[in-house]
Structure 1
Amino acid sequence: MSFQTSRRDFLKKASAASAGIASMPYIFTSQAQANFETPNERPVIGCIGTGSRWGAVGPAAMKFGDCAAVCDVDSNHAGQGKERVQKAQGSDKKVDVYEDYRKILERDDIDLVTIVTPDHWHTKIAIEAMKAGKDVYCEKPLTLTIDEGRQIIKALDETNAVFQVGTQQRTEMGQRFLQAIAIVKDGRIGKLKEVTCAIGGVGESGPIPAVEVPKGLNWEMWLGQAPLCDYRHKEGGRWGNSNCHYEFRWWYEYSGGKMTDWGAHHIDIAQWAIEEANEGARVATFEPVMASHPTPMKDGMPTLNDRYNVATKFNVKTGFNNGIVMHIRNEANDLGFDNGIMFEGTEGKLFVNRGKISGQAVEDLKDNPLPEDAIEKLYGGKPTSHMQNFMECVKSRELPISDVYSHHRAMTTCHLANITIRLDRQLNWDAENEQIVGDEQANSMQSREQRKGYEINA
């Protein structure tokens, strides 16, 4: 039986149970490892976006499936993507190249897509992919606004697609983050009181001149829902200073700066731990302790359009409904650490980042280890690589480890933190109704105007 046929049969059987699956976070992987060796067991992949980050995502996906097509609005990236696919799969296998992602979504032979585009394109492509019957692996941060998260969830619930977000700290990095969450959940630092996330800042670019659009780049389509503007670039650093490709992260028009770039990792882990240790915990207040932008802001919007405009430095105090406080900072050198998460409880502290996990509770594990199944219970099975988890869930139709529902909650925190520093005032958040209380202007920033022809149709 072909993969495509078996997948359709499973979708029919799974549709009635979809609501139940959606309500069971982190319970998803089968104990048996899925087999992806024979052609009929390997899904057919379409890769949308083949820039720098796809260099990790694409090859990971091709360990489990076969790439039939690549797509990028930059023909240079698309050509490099095709070469990489042929190198991995063999030059005798046909790989189609498109500029328009819709060509991939139109193909019945493609089972799933990887979306590795700038942030402002994620939601539109993901929704259209799900409606076209594709499963989705999309890089973080998944959304540009809070409203986009709601739109993706609506489409996900309607289509029963399998959707993995690329927040690899949930699976990889030596499982340090899973261990940290398990330690907090088991009460090893006492009752959790405070969390600090240091997620890094952004340097200033200074004025960036408008220049001719590089050959091969469809700049108008790259902009998508964002307003039409000049292409800007100047030499310097690893990537140069630009409003395109890697540097799009430092413009509010296309992303959310470090708040969403690294917040999608550290705030996600911190919030997961808070929710595991405190059932029903939800963010409630946002206070802008400090923020510095490289351009003056008016009504939450940058007033200069020729330079990076996201916050270079920031400190946001976030309160939860159960009294826990989370600090979101660009750095925490004054507290003795940088880039990582510090958990503080009534009986100790615990620090974790991609390089280490430390604290008395960690040292105590030598004599008093966590329960044998603590990590597997937290993870929902035996931890695997992020892509393998996605591919196994594509077969089982279960919820991946980085599911849209939990990611939406984490990204809501990131987006609200950005809104509070852009407006420079405290916000009160009604998590149940997903509304900012008593602030019409702040509520309006849950969504953004979309350029005609590139609207998201949820």
Structure 2
Amino acid sequence: MSTTRRRFVQGTLAASAALSVMPIRVRGANDRLRIATIGMRARGKTHVDYVSDCRESHNAELVALADCDKGVLEDRLKWTEKEYKFKCEGVQDYRRLLDRKDIDIITIATPNHWHSLMAIEAIQAGKDVYVEKPVSHNVWEGRQIVNAARKAKKIVQTGTQSRSMHGMHKMIDYVHSGQLGKVKYAIGTCYKARKSIGLRDTPLDISDNIDYDLWCGPAAKVDLYRNSLHYDWHWDLNTGNGDLGNQGIHQMDLARWFCGHTALSPRVMSIGGRLGYKDAGNSANTQVVFHDYPGCPVIFEVRGLPANKEKFEKQSWGNGDMDPGPKNVGSIGVLVQCENGYMAVNSYHSGTAYDNNGKKIKSFSGGGNHMGNFLDAVRSRKHEELNADILEGHLSSALCHTGNISYVLGSKKPAAEIAAQIKSQPIQAESFDRMSQHLSHLGIDISKPVLTMGPQLDMNPQTERFNGNDDANKMLTRAYRGEFVVPDMS
């Protein structure tokens, strides 16, 4: 009998005890690892590619696909068999896969609001899990995956694949060895073209191929006034996390890694807005988030609009029309500023060290196999061997979430007032100045109160709770809907 929501809810109270005694099957090199993937649009298709790459080297096989969009599912089943000769069962409701004893691993490539609940359910069903970034839709539920994985002794990898790239490890080792001096701060950039998602007068008609109740899951089930259900959910904070939690999570993770931070920041502030058009989105498309770690802050810059007004007025503007990042960093990358130079990371696997005059010192590159690292750890049963263990994924995801919390709680102010309030933080002020110049090139008048300045939120990194701010603490989790409730695994 398949796992039902009723059984799941009834079993939640006993979950912790059950997880602690769940048997662990140690897999030998000759045991085939059988994998199912949930969510079969762009990232799910990439998961199939990953499994195929590991088919021979790691004795892995894809046996099932799930997607609540029957049209997408049917297309991917045909593609998977034609392209890779994987003969998979297809199910619209992923819960049909959880009780299958012949499935060892679940990979999750759904919209963000589903990541935590699916991961925990898979862990409770005895599976190891590969979950896309961000691993959570809010801070609290990300911590619950960590708790569930540790109690059940399950292997859970985050889809931040840069952590498995040899070039990235070389850059990390170079910086951490002190050859550029002490790390002073890191800036992540996500300057990626994000056009309007539309603003309809009437609700979007959802295809009969889609189980929309299941698609919404833990999120509020509401009418949509954008033009497309798929992908544009990123810009609706009910289901997505803006570009902080889309592309930006990769660079946020690298910035935190270079700085050596192993907990959430004690202070966070966001400044930004959704500018240039009026649409159904509510996430920022222009943003500076300042994580005030003592001695080594992490700054994140989001830009969804092109470099200037002339480019913006073109119908075909795209990623090639975006500004570059600071110094020698591209539109998507990480600047790691040290005492005697800096590292410019411009891809998932490569970058270059420079001195403070901009002279190139050394370049680094090298690929890797993130899924392969995960499957190796599945066999060894040692989560310490993971390059992107769920704890790392939780912390970096949570930095995106706390930045968005400050943004949502903010109020609109003129640029001069914002600049005056942050002038004591020179690194934050520099990022804000770059953003201000960018908006001026677009002809957006920020002398008026159009930018949202969020409050500085003080956090206890040990408890992952804000100090003295009830409104912010409420946003660390969400009101789950009906039967789709992330359980407390503490």
Which TM-score tier does this pair reach, normalised by the shorter chain? 0.7 to 0.9
| Alignment correspondent of 1:57 | 47
| Alignment correspondent of 2:301 | 329
Task: Give me the CA root mean square deviation.
Answer: 2.9
Shift of 1:204: 3.4
| Alignment correspondent of 1:86 | 81
Alignment CA distance shift 1:219-1:402 (3 Å): same
What is the SS of the residue equivalent to 2:342? strand
| Alignment correspondent of 2:351 | 357
Shift of 1:430: 1.1
What is the SS of the residue equivalent to 1:140? coil
1:111 paired to 2:104 = yes
Pairing 1:154-165 to 2, within 5 Å after superposition: 154-165=147-158
| Alignment correspondent of 1:291 | 272
Shift of 1:72: 0.7
Q: Say whether the 8 Å CA contact 1:196–1:326 is kept in structure 2.
A: yes
| Alignment correspondent of 1:320 | 293
Shift of 1:217: 0.9
User: How many Å separate the matches in 1 of 2:266 and 2:226?
Assistant: 40
Alignment CA distance shift 1:105-1:193 (3 Å): same
1:441 paired to 2:471 = yes
How many residue pairs match? The answer is: 390
Shift of 1:103: 0.6
Alignment CA distance shift 1:98-1:12 (3 Å): closer
What is the one-letter code of the residue matched to 2:408? R
User: How many Å separate the matches in 2 of 1:146 and 1:117?
Assistant: 18
Q: Which of 166, 188, 192 pairs up with 1:197?
A: 188
Q: Which of 255, 270, 276 pairs up with 2:240?
A: 255
1:308 paired to 2:298 = no
User: How many Å separate the matches in 2 of 1:108 and 1:272?
Assistant: 37
What is the SS of the residue equivalent to 1:11? coil
| Alignment correspondent of 1:418 | 404
Shift of 1:184: 1.4
What is the SS of the residue equivalent to 1:47? strand
Q: Which of 123, 129, 133 pairs up with 1:130?
A: 123
Q: Which of 222, 242, 246 pairs up with 1:229?
A: 222
Consecutive unaligned residues of structure 2, counting only runs of 5 or more, are 1-20, 304-322, 410-453
Identity %: 27
What is the SS of the residue equivalent to 1:199? strand
Shift of 1:130: 0.5
1:76 paired to 2:106 = no
What is the one-letter code of the residue matched to 2:174? I
Q: Which of 31, 36, 40 pairs up with 1:41?
A: 31
Shift of 1:179: 2.5
Q: Deviations over 1:91-121 (max 9, x none)?
A: 7x4x222111111001111111111111111
Q: Say whether the 8 Å CA contact 1:204–1:312 is kept in structure 2.
A: no
Alignment CA distance shift 1:439-1:77 (3 Å): same
Q: Considering Cα pairs closer than 8 Å and 6+ residues apart, tell me whether 1 or 2 has the greater RCO.
A: 1
User: How many Å separate the matches in 2 of 1:334 and 1:263?
Assistant: 14
What is the SS of the residue equivalent to 1:41? coil
Q: Say whether the 8 Å CA contact 1:176–1:352 is kept in structure 2.
A: no
User: How many Å separate the matches in 2 of 1:160 and 1:99?
Assistant: 29
| Alignment correspondent of 1:180 | 171
User: How many Å separate the matches in 1 of 2:80 and 2:342?
Assistant: 46
Alignment CA distance shift 1:219-1:197 (3 Å): same
Shift of 1:176: 3.5
Alignment CA distance shift 1:439-1:394 (3 Å): same
Alignment CA distance shift 1:197-1:90 (3 Å): closer
Q: Say whether the 8 Å CA contact 2:185–2:259 is kept in structure 1.
A: no
What is the one-letter code of the residue matched to 1:283? S
Consecutive unaligned residues of structure 1, counting only runs of 5 or more, are 1-7, 15-33, 235-241, 297-303, 376-381
1:407 paired to 2:393 = yes
| Alignment correspondent of 2:485 | 455
TM-score normalised according to structure 1 size = 0.78
1:150 paired to 2:135 = no
Name the stretch that deviates more: 210-219 or 353-362: 353-362
User: How many Å separate the matches in 1 of 2:263 and 2:259?
Assistant: 7
Q: Say whether the 8 Å CA contact 1:274–1:281 is kept in structure 2.
A: no
Shift of 1:165: 1.0
TM-score normalised according to structure 2 size = 0.73
User: How many Å separate the matches in 2 of 1:135 and 1:281?
Assistant: 24
User: How many Å separate the matches in 2 of 1:99 and 1:9?
Assistant: 28
| Alignment correspondent of 2:443 | none
Q: Say whether the 8 Å CA contact 1:116–1:139 is kept in structure 2.
A: yes
User: How many Å separate the matches in 1 of 2:275 and 2:99?
Assistant: 43
Alignment CA distance shift 1:112-1:178 (3 Å): same
What is the one-letter code of the residue matched to 2:474? S
Alignment CA distance shift 1:357-1:225 (3 Å): same
Alignment CA distance shift 1:282-1:215 (3 Å): closer
Q: Say whether the 8 Å CA contact 1:294–1:308 is kept in structure 2.
A: no
What is the one-letter code of the residue matched to 1:397? R
| Alignment correspondent of 1:391 | 375
Alignment CA distance shift 1:215-1:428 (3 Å): same
Shift of 1:413: 1.1
